[in-house]
Amino acid sequence: MIFSSITFLFFFLPVVLSIYYIVPRKFKNLVLLVASLFFYFYGEPIYVFLMIFSIISTYIFGLLIDKYKKYSKVFLAISICISVGILVYFKYTNFIIQNINLWLKNKIDFIYVILPIGISFYTFQMISYNIDVYRGQAKVQKNILKLAMYISLFPQLIAGPIVRYTTIEGQLENRTHTLEKFSNGVRRFIIGLGKKVLIANVLGELASKFLVSNDVSILFFWLYGISAMLQIYFDFSGYSDMAIGLGKMFGFEFLENFNYPYIAKTVTDFWRRWHISLSSWFRDYIYIPLGGNRVSKIKWIRNILLVWMLTGLWHGASWNFVIWGLYFGIILLIEKIFLDKFLEKFPDILKRIYVLVIVMISFIIFNGEGVEQILRNIGGLIGFRRIPLVSNESLYYFKSYFVILLVGIIGSTPLIKNIVTSKKLNKIAGYLEPLVLLIILVVSTSYIIDGSFNPFLYFRF
């Protein structure tokens, strides 16, 4: 079940909200837990038991870490090994077999395994919980139902953001429910739905048409690069908006996951704004424990490259993801060692163009299926092999998708937000907002009913 589906929008969510607000406060967590398990069961009937096992394991080891301080490091290590072991088995086993066969010329058969939805997200939440208990940064949760609700909470279960236990620890016990918070949640959800259905899905259609086309022109390669870059932003930030909005409807406050990353002036700044919950997770649980930048230069370089290689692998069991992660690691090292001082001399517009080109190339790598395709798509941006500048097909798609590309470009900046929140237009925007939100909801629903292209890119993670 995905948020941008009729089943979720008009059946599951209304029923859960109705029951949640009818029952007394002491039963609200139970309602959310049951609803979340059903939500996951609907999409993954078998793997819901895997998630329950993981929750029980995390709960038991949390208690052991808290109670037996002398052996807490051992219990932490075991709990991490179990969580990571499950993740590796389901996500990376065939990738490992593939590479063993390639390098050692073996013929090990692949195993039949389906990747459980959202396992990368909830595994990181369980690991961070036990680490925080070990560090004394979080109190151990002795009520297994509350811990289970935290891990399985359906708004953020299958595609994030990665909500840390310390963020909502107090909210599990006591959270406020107000009409204002609920209405803000509805507003945020509808905006996210519109970003996903009306922008990301349409731009995804353009990117898909490029991949199956035999047309070769510089314009078409740029259309693909820009549409793919905008698609993944609106897809994932739209999902995060919906998750944050749903959280508010149930009284939770999740941290922001995106902060207009495409206005960044450096790649370092881009990663402070993009998928904030993931980058901060790797910083706090991998990079800093390795020594961060408070080590020798060689070890610091090692830390950067290792963290970014793992970041790439987290996104998928394929070499293009590893290359994508190392690509960013190398760019960040170059910036930190000498490029930052050089960039300071350039005007802001050139800094932003530099970041956008770097990021666009990164998503060509991200979406690539094999080195040959990646090099072809990157080379096409600069007219490699003397391809034509434009073609009839590329001009057709440029004209057809120009408006949505323009909407995507403007929507990825804070321009609209700054306009509607300005003193002159704030009151007018307040009156028009309900109508605009209603239009977005109706049009988005129409697109969903029509059965158009409607994937969630991060479901495979």
Positions marked active-site = 315
What is the rounded CA–CA span in Å between residue 349 and residue 371?
A: 32
Q: Write phi, then psi, for 161 (nearest 5 degrees).
A: -65, 165
What is the rounded CA–CA span in Å between residue 119 and residue 83?
A: 10
**Helix intervals (H) in 368-425:** 371-381, 392-411, 415-420
In the structure encoding, which two tokens stand for residue 403, read together? 């408006």
In the structure encoding, which two tokens stand for residue 78, read together? 């075991």
Q: Cis omega before residue 455 (within 30°)?
A: no
The Cα-based distances of 371 to 82, 261, 377, 379, 461 in angstroms read 33, 27, 10, 12, 21
In the structure encoding, which two tokens stand for residue 374, read together? 């990646």
Which residues have a Cβ under 8 Å from the Cβ of 194 and sit 6 or more positions away?
238, 440, 441, 443, 444
What is the rounded CA–CA span in Å between residue 441 and residue 194?
A: 7
What is the rounded CA–CA span in Å between residue 444 and residue 244?
A: 19
Helices 119-135, 72-104: crossing angle, 10 deg rounding: 140
What is the rounded CA–CA span in Å between residue 406 and residue 410?
A: 6
The Cα-based distances of 254 to 51, 162, 346 in angstroms read 22, 9, 36
What is the rounded CA–CA span in Å between residue 180 and residue 182?
A: 5
What is the rounded CA–CA span in Å between residue 13 and residue 296?
A: 52
Which residues have a Cβ under 8 Å from the Cβ of 251 and sit 6 or more positions away?
171, 175, 176, 177, 181
Number of residues assigned to the chain: 461
What's the number of CA atoms in the CB half-sphere (13 Å) around residue 269?
15
What is the rounded CA–CA span in Å between residue 300 and residue 305?
A: 9
What is the rounded CA–CA span in Å between residue 159 and residue 235?
A: 11
